Chains A and B, each alone.
Chain A
Amino acid sequence: GAGVSQTPSNKVTEKGKYVELRCDPISGHTALYWYRQSLGQGPEFLIYFQGTGAADDSGLPNDRFFAVRPEGSVSTLKIQRTERGDSAVYLCASSPNRASGKGPGEQYFGPGTRLTVT
C-alpha cells in the first residue's frame, strides 16, 4: 500500500515568508508526527497528533511554528516569518494504534520536505 507522502519535496523561500508543508499519512493511521532534521543530526521531535488533536507539541521551537490536522488524516505544518535557521528537512511519520502489550506502535516515515530559507 501507499506509504507516507510529503509535499513539496523541496521548498526554497525567502527569509520572512510563510510556508506550509503537507503530510499525507498511511490510511487508517491515527497518530501523526512531525520532526525536523538538520544536517548530520538525528531527527528532532516537533509535534504529535492523535486523531485531530495535538497530543504533544512540546517540540515546537517557538510560536512561529504551528501544525493542524483538521480531519484526522492530512496534516499541515505551518511556519511564519521564516528564518535561515529554519532550513532543514521536515519529516512526517504516522503510526497505527498501539497494540496492547507490544509497545508503542512503530512509526512509518515519509521522504521529507527539504526547506531552504535564503
Chain B
Amino acid sequence: DAKTTQPPSMDCAEGRAANLPCNHSTISGNEYVYWYRQIHSQGPQYIIHGLKNNETNEMASLIITEDRKSSTLILPHATLRDTAVYYCIVRVGNDMRFGAGTRLTVKP
C-alpha cells in the first residue's frame, strides 16, 4: 500500500506557481519525503527531497508541515515542459514505492 495520498490530476496556467499537495499522515520519524516526476514516455526524474525542513533547489521548493503529515511541492513558474505525473514518496531505506501520482497539466 502506498504511504502517500495525492490528487489524481491538477491544472496550472503557464507562468503561474504550481502547488502539488501530498498527504503522508503515517510517516515515521526517520522517513524522508521525496518527489519525482515522469514526463510522458520517459523514466522518472528526481526533483527534491526533505526530512522536516523546507528545501529549495533549482527545480522546485518543498514545504513540509511541522507535524510532517503533509507536504507541498511548489514549481514557482510553471512552463509547458512541466506537464508530467508527479510522485510523492516517503522512504527511509532503499525501498521506494510509487503511488499513482498527480498528473499536472500546464496550460498556455
Contact = CB atoms under 8 A, between A and B. Distances in A.
Contacts of B87: 42
A111 B43 contact: yes
Interface in A62-88: none
Interface string B71-100: 000000000000001010001111111111
Nearest to A110: B43
B9 interface: no
Contacts of B44: 43, 91, 93, 107, 109
Interface residues of A, number: 26
A91 B38 CA distance: 12
Interface stretch (B12-20, B21-29, B45-53, B60-68): B45-53
A31 B94 contact: yes
Contacts of B99: 42
Contacts of B49: 103, 106
Interface of B: 32, 34, 41-46, 49, 51, 85, 87, 91-101
Interface of A: 4, 31, 33, 35, 41-45, 48, 50, 55-56, 91, 93, 95, 98, 103-104, 106-112
